Amino acid sequence: KQEVTQIPAALSVPEGENLVLNCSFTDSAIYNLQWFRQDPGKGLTSLLLIQSSQREQTSGRLNASLDKSSGRSTLYIAASQPGDSATYLCAAPGTALIFGKGTTLSVSS
Amino acid sequence: DTGVSQDPRHKITKRGQNVTFRCDPISEHNRLYWYRQTLGQGPEFLTYFQNEAQLEKSRLLSDRFSAERPKGSFSTLEIQRTEQGDSAMYLCASSFEFGIGELFFGEGSRLTVL
């Protein structure tokens, strides 16, 4: 049974910092992993989808890596901005996509 | 295409009433998923459809919950005899058929049971 854990649960940083969000999963027989962003009271926005054949995927200031052997993925955010403040969710395939509880990021100006 | 749409966005009901949510997926997507999310938690899988066939149901989907996807287009999620514990955000997502491809979510339907 797939289980997804995200650390830390919350993170506060000043504007401009580079930061790393961590995600671990128990079943490494995955074919992809997806990162989402969720603003308060809103739905989920897909940020990055990493296929199992890839080790990294980049979109703008975001870079996600995947290490299936260790059951880990990281989301790297460069030069953080107040607009990046949101909850970031990692999801790995199980019966359907299985989600972690998310990391709530607050970027202060 | 305008993405996944859900209706209503907010629903307030009294305990014991029935409620129905509707989801319109991205038109070319074969798969449609329902999730439930409570405050501070990640989305929890409820059920999914491939075209009109309901292929998987979570143990979270009690007998009071029923989902349909007639003709493989839009889907409805009905909750009968609502309980206060049903208060949550109900999220719909869709994807292409092959494996579990990239999921695209709607804005969700927030249910409050008084």
Q: Could you report the per-residue pLDDT of B13-24, keeping only the tens digit for each? A: 999 999 999 999
| B-chain residues near A97 (CB < 8 A) | 33, 45, 93, 100, 103
Q: Tell me what pLDDT residue A30 has.
A: 87
Q: Could you give phi then psi for residue A82, rounded to 5 degrees?
A: -55, -30
| A-chain residues near B42 (CB < 8 A) | 4, 89, 91, 99-102
CA distance B65 to B88: 14
Residue identified by tokens 């790393």 is: A20
Q: Could you report the per-residue pLDDT of A36-49, keeping only the tens digit for each? A: 999 998 999 999 99
| Among the partner residues B40, B99, B105, nearest to A43 by beta-carbon distance | B105
Which of B103, B104, B109, B111 would you mutate first to test chain A, the one with the most A CBs within 10 A? B103
Q: Tell me what pLDDT residue B14 has.
A: 97
Taking residues B68-83, report their average pLDDT.
95
| Contact criterion met (CB < 8 Å) for B106 and A43 | yes
CA distance A24 to B93: 23
